[in-house]
Amino acid sequence: MSKKFEKVKKSKIIPINRKISLKKYLGLVITLLLVFVILLSRVAWLQFVDGDWLKEKEYSQSTSSSLISAKRGTIYDSTGKALAISVEVDTISVNPSYIKAKGKNGQTNEQATEELKRNMSNAFAEIFDLNSDDVYQKLISSNSVETIASKVETDKVEELRTWLTENKVTSGVNIDADVKRYYPYNNLASNVIGFCGSNNQGLDGIELSYDDVLKGTSGKLTTAIDVTQDAIPDKNEEYIAPENGSNIYLTIDSNIQTIAEKYLKQAVEENKCERGGNVIIMDPKDGDILAMATYPDYNLNDPYTPTEWYSDGWDNLSEQEKTNTLYSMWRNRAVLDTYEPGSTFKVLTAAIGLEENVVETDTENDFFCSGYEEVADRKIKCTATSGHGKQTLRNALENSCNPALIQLGQRIGVDTFYKYLEAFGLFDKTGVDLPSEGASGFWAKENVGPVELATMSFGQRFTITPLQLITAISSIANDGKMVVPHVVKQIENPDTGNITNIETKEVRQVVSKETADKMKDIMKDVVEEGGGKYAQVKGYTIGGKTGTSEPDPNHPENGYVASFVAIAPVENTELVVLLTLYAPQTSDYYGGSIAAPAVSQILSEVLPYLDIPSNEVSTSSTETISTPDVTNKTVAEAQKMLQQAGLEYNTNASADDIVKEQVPPKGTQLTPGGIVKLYKEGNDDRVSQSVPDLKGVTFEQAKIMLKAKNLNIASTGSGIVIAQDPQAGTSVDEGTVINVTLQEKTSTTQR
């Protein structure tokens, strides 16, 4: 072969092989480049698009965050007494997947784990009073967290810690700090204060209306955790402190509230009021509500358990019926519910007439009552069927005469009447700082004819709330100026101590001071000379008006409503009291007969408590003796001391026995011949007596009736007994003092 051929051959073979290798190389490079670009794009996506999400996810899997409950603010009464407090408790939860038991080889053992969870369910059930099967289902749940028990007290937590230590359980059980709402006085002001749910959120009353102020802001603790959910040291641990809720100081005085609740309950029970009752005590100058009570009430520490009043047939109710019953039990009827005010409203009608100069207080023969008033196509009767004859405005209110007020309403006219209804705030809610305030119900002005105007003039066939009425009448007691009622006085920041005062809000001047003074003078005569005599309090000038509204024809099952509104003292009024009783089941259901005495009892304790001076040196109807201290004396020595003091004694102990207790205690004021019961140490032969019904009897008769049962008497006023405390039928120890209120018997109809 020639050399030339060989060169040609070589030149053809070598470039072909090189060309093939280059293609493969370029393909590989391109492939690698594409993969690199894809990977780079993915990394960029993860870095710049999903980076924050992935970071959060990684952090959440390696950290544990727990909320730290804020301490709910304390609710205090006006004297600084705590009515609602938050106490430290704990919530117990588990992470089911982290509860594991190891076998002898140190590895997780399924059988041992199942046995451990069985033992745990039994222990938890016993400690927290739960169903063990329910607890076990939570321990084997696929959920990451299950709550076992909430609001656990310290002693239970310590019992749990001991069990976990003894059984070497180190993971999967969480004990988280929490707070629990507690009400030291159970039922006191329950319908005003309200209560909280399991999450410490306010559900009713002040707890609801001031929830944002009371609840504060929860904090948070974030820590690093290992695979068994145990905390590990971490420089990035984050703690955000909770901001505790603010404290609230009420206008409610717990001492006045207790007095109001005591006599309201007694009036409801004595008069068998099927729909209960309510009472409001208000300072007319600044709108402070000193007491507000509804009866029946309920226990704030156990709000989901019906009280005796509501428990009849409870187990037979449907779930919806049970819910409705509980809502009824929680209702603050003084604020939420409306009613026909009856004759208490005549105070406002009279004030309108005086302000408009269509009537004067003492114009002779200004009104005439024949026993009824003929209006349009009907006769509207007066309580006095024989009529009151010729009357002044003062006489008309003393007699609570419907025809006279109808005649006054006709003089006023619909337009003017409605102008003042608006001025007295009766078309609007009062603006009280409590939830779900009720709204009044009136005819549209264009639909008011002669009959409607007539019935409205004496307080029937329209509805308002008790709070609306007492706010309107308080404007008269406050020289004609209306203010907004309120129950919160101050808000306190617990960290800084900064105090925010709730200022008095004046609404408007409704009537002149001159008109207000005239009405207060008439109200004084209603109590001193008219149908409100049973509201008298010896040593104080009391003004007032009785009220008895007849059943609504559309709802006859609601029955009568008996009420009484009082101002005290008349000259410089510091209190307005409205007590309302619903559906009394007694033959004498008039407000002057059953509501006025209860108001008298309330005022007889509240006025001295507030240091409002009395114009009497003593309000007792007879002299009293201070009971000496005879404890730690022999019975013989005690007998001698008591006889020297003018008192008697009763005991089953021997003359040489030592007196360890006496009833009543030392310092109690007793009438001459009063009885002191003596007990020796360990003496268990205590004797109780049922308090007799003393209403309608004289002081001497009451004293004899009580002495027959070894009971004592203390009295206020003179005449016949119109009220007593404790009430009839109450079981008390022998020697107990029974307080009675006496009033001169009156023949005036107490309507």
pLDDT digits (tens, 9 = 90+) for 87-124: 877 888 888 888 888 766 666 678 888 888 899 899 99
Return d(Cα 360, Cα 363) in angstroms, integer: 6
Return d(Cα 233, Cα 228) in angstroms, integer: 14
582 in the same domain as 639: no
Instruction: Give the CATH number of the domain where residue 712 resides.
Output: 3.30.10.20
533 in the same domain as 642: no
Question: Percentage helix, strand, coil, to 5, in the chain?
Answer: 35, 25, 40
Strand, coil or helix: what is 219? strand
154 in the same domain as 180: yes
603 in the same domain as 560: yes
The residue among 558, 577, 609 that closes a domain is 609
- Per the domain annotation, does 636 fall within a domain? yes
Q: Is the pLDDT of residue 239 over 80?
A: no
Q: Is the pLDDT of residue 3 over 60?
A: no
pLDDT in tens, 482-499: 999 999 999 999 888 899
Return d(Cα 343, Cα 562) in angstroms, integer: 10
25 in the same domain as 75: no
604 in the same domain as 635: no
Instruction: Give the CATH number of the domain where residue 144 resides.
Output: 3.90.1310.10
513 in the same domain as 380: yes
pLDDT of residue 60: 47
169 in the same domain as 33: no
Return d(Cα 568, Cα 495) in angstroms, integer: 40
Residue 646: phi and psi, rounded to 5, are: 90, 25
Q: Is the pLDDT of residue 568 over 80?
A: yes
* HEC profile of 84-99: EEEEEEEEEEECHHHC
pLDDT of residue 299: 97
- Per the domain annotation, does 326 fall within a domain? no
Average pLDDT of the chain to the nearest whole number: 87
Strand, coil or helix: what is 475? helix
Longest dimension (CA), the chain: 166
Instruction: Retrieve residue 392's tokens.
Output: 């002044």
Could you say which DSSP state residue 446 is in? G
- Per the domain annotation, does 204 fall within a domain? yes
pLDDT of residue 14: 46
Interhelix angle 254-270/596-609, nearest 10 degrees: 160
Q: Is the pLDDT of residue 748 over 70?
A: no
Which amino acid appears at position 730 of this protein? T
Return d(Cα 461, Cα 463) in angstroms, integer: 7
722 in the same domain as 651: yes
Burial call 212-244: b when 16+ CB within 10 Å, e when fewer: ebbbbeebebbbbeeeeeeeeeeeeeeeeebbb
693 in the same domain as 596: no
Q: Of the segments 39-43, 455-459, 556-560, 674-678, which one has the largest average pLDDT value?
A: 455-459
- Per the domain annotation, does 56 fall within a domain? no
Q: Which of 468, 381, 353 is nearest to 422 (CA)?
A: 468
* HEC profile of 584-612: CCCCCCCHHHHCHHHHHHHHHHHHHHCCC
pLDDT of residue 664: 92
Q: Which of 447, 445, 450 is nearest to 376 (CA)?
A: 450
Instruction: Give the CATH number of the domain where residue 602 resides.
Output: 3.40.710.10
Positive or negative, the CA dihedral 662, 664, 670, 671 is negative
Contact in structure between 482 and 425 (CB atoms under 8 Å): yes
The residue among 250, 282, 303 that closes a domain is 250
pLDDT of residue 61: 46
Structural domains of the chain, count: 4
Q: Is the pLDDT of residue 466 over 70?
A: yes
Strand, coil or helix: what is 507? strand
pLDDT in tens, 252-283: 999 999 999 999 999 999 999 999 999 999 99
Lowest-confidence segment of 47-56, 404-413, 508-517 by average pLDDT: 47-56
- Per the domain annotation, does 277 fall within a domain? no
The residue among 229, 250, 271 that closes a domain is 250
Lowest-confidence segment of 67-76, 235-244, 274-283 by average pLDDT: 235-244
Q: Is the pLDDT of residue 681 over 90?
A: no
pLDDT of residue 697: 87
538 in the same domain as 415: yes
Q: Is the pLDDT of residue 59 over 50?
A: no
Contact in structure between 179 and 198 (CB atoms under 8 Å): no
Residues 192-201 have a mean pLDDT of 90
- Per the domain annotation, does 284 fall within a domain? no
85 in the same domain as 43: no
pLDDT of residue 622: 61
Q: Which of 500, 502, 459, 466 is nearest to 484 (CA)?
A: 502
pLDDT of residue 403: 98
Could you say which DSSP state residue 169 is in? -
- Per the domain annotation, does 616 fall within a domain? no
Work out the pLDDT band at 180, boundaries 50, 70, 90.
Answer: confident
Q: Is the pLDDT of residue 15 over 60?
A: no
Q: Which of 267, 268, 261 is nearest to 309 (CA)?
A: 268
Residues 179-203 have a mean pLDDT of 92
pLDDT of residue 455: 97
Burial (0-12, 13-18, 19+ Cβ within 10 Å), 290? buried
Domain that holds residue 446: 335-609
- Per the domain annotation, does 312 fall within a domain? no
Residues 419-448 have a mean pLDDT of 97
pLDDT of residue 39: 77
Work out the pLDDT band at 223, boundaries 50, 70, 90.
Answer: low
Q: Is the pLDDT of residue 624 over 90?
A: no
Q: Which of 433, 468, 421 is nearest to 288 (CA)?
A: 433
